[in-house]
Amino acid sequence: MSAFDAQDTARWFRECFEAVRTQVAQVIVGQNDVVEGVLVCLAANGHVLLEGMPGLGKTLLVRTLAESVGLGFSRIQFTPDMMPADVTGTNVLASSPTGDRVFEFRRGPVFANMILADEINRATPKTQSALLEAMQERSVTVGGTKHTLAEPFLVMATQNPIEQEGTYPLPEAQLDRFFFKLLVPYPSKADLFEVVERTTGSASAEPQVVASSDDVLRMRQTVRDVPISRDVLDFALSIVVATHPEGEGSSAFAKRYARYGSSPRGAQAIVTAGKVYALLDGRFNVAREDVKKAAVAALRHRVILNFEAEADGVTADQLVHESVKAAEIGKADPIGV
């Protein structure tokens, strides 16, 4: 690929990204950061966990996104009585054309390109773990048969921070499989005005399909080609290491408040997301700013705070911010003239 082709590819990436965003924006009012985060996950081939109060448009966002890129979409509403087979699908007894009775695999909702796992924390761990294989391996195994999922495959799970009664918080291993955890805030008054106006009137906006599954796959490949310097990589890794409660490079804040730090997947998520941000910024390289931008969303669900943190009201976001600050120490201008 020549330099001009590469530039065209980068431009196409931005245009494609912006086109999808524009379509989503026609339906979703505000929530720009959340929308961008979800699109970054789409481009970076990572799953996303959305956390926010009910009624903030999480489900709508995911559905609109699926429609914009013309991908298969399915929604799974997790409940405590839901079984794994309800997610993955199951073998049912059916008649063959010859009249024989045979087991036939009936696909579950996970067999779609985009999955909305609504209120994922309401399902039992057993059911949650059914999704685990699908998210990591991009396949499900039922009755000893492995069924590969279609690409692109993206799980967008939601959970709300209230109504914790009767919920099953996601285990750390499963949380780690989410690329980003995005917090969906309340809309501003202006955004709320817009939301109410749109949803209570007769007109309804229908998003257009502006990208295909091939486009998504091409976007993912494009992201992987963005170069990153050793310095920036070192910076990203320093952030991850700084979240660890012990070991070389851990920050004082983490030593005090972290029970567990981020896994290597956190570093992978930061770097990959950084590459997306770099392309969106019109650059061909990852900058520290990109890494910093990605750090909170990529690490907030990967660090586990200790009791002291809870007692002091320290949040995971604070810990990540402090880790970023710790990683920045000593990385200033090496030529002090």
Using CB under 8 A, list all residues that contact another protein: 1-3, 5-7, 9-10, 225-232, 281, 283-289, 332-335, 337
Residue among 60 and 287 whose Cβ is closer to another protein: 287
Residue among 93 and 335 whose Cβ is closer to another protein: 335
* Least Å from the CB of residue 216 to another protein: 18
* Least Å from the CB of residue 324 to another protein: 16
* Cβ 315 vs Cβ 181: under 8 Å: no
Residue among 194 and 281 whose Cβ is closer to another protein: 281
Residue among 317 and 328 whose Cβ is closer to another protein: 328
Residue among 5 and 100 whose Cβ is closer to another protein: 5
Q: What distance in Å separates the CA atoms of residue 21 and residue 32, rounded to the nearest whole number?
A: 9
* Least Å from the CB of residue 8 to another protein: 10
Residue among 101 and 230 whose Cβ is closer to another protein: 230
Q: What distance in Å separates the CA atoms of residue 190 and residue 194, rounded to the nearest whole number?
A: 6
Residue at token pair 């949803």: 199
* Least Å from the CB of residue 45 to another protein: 17
Question: What are the residues whose beta carbons fall under 8 Å from the beta carbon of 7, sequence distance 6 or more?
Answer: none
* Least Å from the CB of residue 273 to another protein: 16
* Least Å from the CB of residue 335 to another protein: 4
